[in-house]
Structure 1
Amino acid sequence: MKKFWFIIVMVTIALFGMNAFAASNVQLTEKERQFISELGTIRVSNEMDWPPYNYNERNQPKGFSIDYFKLVAEKLGITYEFVSGPSWNDFLMMTKRNELDVVLNIISTPERRKYLAFTKPYTVAISGLVVTERMRHLTSLREMDGMTVAVPQGFYTAELLRAIYPNIKRFETKDTLGALEAVKFGQADAMVSEIPVANFLMEKHTLSGLSVSGKIKDPAFASIFSMATRLDKTMLRDVLEKGINAVTDEEIFAIRSKWLERTNDKTEPNILTLSEREVAYLKKHDDITMCVDPDWLPFEAVRDGEHVGISGDYVRTFAQKLDKPFRLIKTESWSQSLEFAQERKCDILPMLSATPERIKYLNFTKPYFNNANVIVTRHQTAYVPELSQLDAEVGVVEGYALNDTIRAFYPNIQIRNVKNLHAGMKLVAEGKLFAMAGSLAAVGYQIQDYFIGQLKVAGRFDEPLELGLGVRNDDMVLLSILNKAIDSISDDEHRRLVNSWMVVTYKEGLDLKLLIEILIGFSFIAFFLLYRQRGLKKHNEELARISSMDKLTNLKNRMALDDILITQFNQFDRYKRPFSVIILDVDHFKSINDTYGHLVGDEVLVAVAKIITSVSRSTDTTGRWGGEEFLILCPETDQEGTRTVAEHFREAIEGCVFDQDIRVTASFGVAEARLGESAQDLMKRADAALYKAKHNGRNQVCIG
Structure 2
Amino acid sequence: MITRRLRREGLFRQCSCWLAGVLCFWWLAASVAAAVVPLDDKERAWLVKHPVITVHNEMNWPPFNFNQNGQPTGFSIDYMNLLAVKMGLNIRYVSGPEWDEFMAMIRDGRLDVMLNIVNTPGRREFMSFTEPYLSSPSGIFVTRDNDSIHSLEDLNGKTVAIPRGFFFQEVLETSYPKIKLLLEDDTLDNLESVAFGRADATVGEPGVVQYLIDTHFLTNIKLAGQATDRRFTSVMSIGVNKDQSILRGILQKGVDSITPQEMQHMFARWNLAAAGQADATTLSDEDQRYLAGLNDVQVCVQSDHMPYEGQSGDQLNGISADLLRQLSQTLKLSFHPRFYSTSAELLEAAGRGDCDLVPLIATAAGQSGLRYSKPFLDIPIVLATGSDEIFVGDVQQLKDRKLGYVPGLFSFDALKKRYPQLQLVAVSSMADAVRRIRDGELYGYVDSVAAIAYGMQQHGWYDIKIAGRFDEQLHIAMGVHSTAPHLLGVIQKTLNAMGTEVPKRIYNQWVSVRYVQSVDYTWIWRAGLALAVLMAFLWYRNYQLKKFNRKLERITITDPLTGVNNRKLLDEVLAREVDLCAAGQYSVGLILLDLDHFKLVNDRYGHQEGDAVLNMVCRSVEQVINHKHVFGRWGGEEFMVICPGLNLAATGHLAEILRREISQAVQGPAGNQTASFGVTAYQRGDSGNDLIRRADMALYQAKEAGRNRVQLHTPAKQTSRVTSSFEV
TM-score, structure 1 normalization: 0.43
Does 1 or 2 have the higher relative contact order (CA < 8 Å, sep 6+)? 1
Larger radius of gyration: 1
